[in-house]
Amino acid sequence: MEEFPPEFDPARLIQTMSRNGHNKLIGTRYHGHGDGWCELALPYSETLVTDTASGILASGPIFTLMDMATSLSIWLKTGTFQPQATLDLRIDYLRPARPGNTVIAHGECYHVTKSIAFIRGHAHDGDPEKPIAHVAGTYFFTASA
Amino acid sequence: MKTSFSPYAQTMGFEEQRDADGRLIIAMPYCDGVRGRPGFVHGGALAGLLETIAYATLSEALGEDDRPLIKPVNVTATYMRGAVEVTTYAQATIERLGKRIANIEAIAWQDDINKPVAMAQINVMLDRSGRS
């Protein structure tokens, strides 16, 4: 497996990933990181709402943001770039994000085995004490099979 | 009944189709906007597709005269195969449609419906308090 280069910078990685593909489409931004955790931001966009009348953000982009944040947390936990794929991801939607607010997703990897990484996380729209969603899931290391 | 797509669904390029039995299918043509790691569809885009077909199928089952607010409670997505650079299709089955809760299962596939790339179990609340 590939060790992190000393200059590894998750902020720069997210900037690169957000230049094309699905992260560009929804507008994923870097927000913060630490040992085994990563935070990403999703600025509000009218192109991502589920209902024009209410202006409420669709759940799909929040799912993507949580998937990205938890996925990156595994690299930050293990300190390696092992190729991995999402096995399953469960999201509980506690309440809708307030229209206009940026959504922040916090993902953390709390355990890894040789083959599986266990993650959890939450998202909020301004106040970390009032989450809008909780997430739990697993990833498997595709090269370990 | 024509499904009216949300701005999100339009952004994603979703297209409404019907199978031979007239059941609703949503197609997600491959484009750069749904790409994750090189060569594959992003898992978040697949989850968005699965949620959208679930809500659209539910909305159709409820009919024109019953329009409760559909509030997502939770979604459990399971990924079975890498989804490659072709169109992905999704279909949903309502396992139970109650007064306040609906349980829905959605699957997504590419060239073979018997080889799904992802599936999701979706539970929603039907809120009739705010609408007549």
> Is the full-model pTM beyond 0.90?
yes
Question: Which of B32, B76, B79 lies at the smallest CB-CB distance from A21?
Answer: B32
Distance from CA of B12 to the nearest CA of A (A): 8
| Strand pairing category for A103-112 and B118-127 | unpaired
ipTM for the predicted complex comes to 0.91
Cβ contact A58–B48 (<8 Å): yes
- Judge: A64–B44 Cβ closer than 8 Å, yes or no: yes
What digits encode the pLDDT tens for the residues B1-51? 445 689 999 999 999 999 999 999 999 999 999 999 899 999 999 999 999
The token pair that represents A136 in the structure block: 């739990």
Q: Do B82 and A85 touch (CB under 8 A)?
A: yes
Q: Does B12 touch chain A (CB under 8 A)?
A: yes
A120: tokens are 């959890």
Is residue A77 within 8 Å of A2, Cβ to Cβ? no
Q: Does B28 touch chain A (CB under 8 A)?
A: no
Whether pLDDT at B131 is above 80: no
| pLDDT in the model for residue B2 | 46
> Are the beta carbons of B6 and A68 separated by less than 8 Å?
no
* Residue B114: partners with Cβ closer than 8 Å, 6 or more residues away: none
Please report residues of A whose CB lies closer than 8 A to that of B68: none
Question: Which residue is listed with tokens 């990933």?
Answer: A17
Is any Cβ of chain A less than 8 angstroms from the Cβ of B13?
no
Q: Tell me which of A104-113, B6-15, B61-70, B97-106 is least confident.
A: B61-70
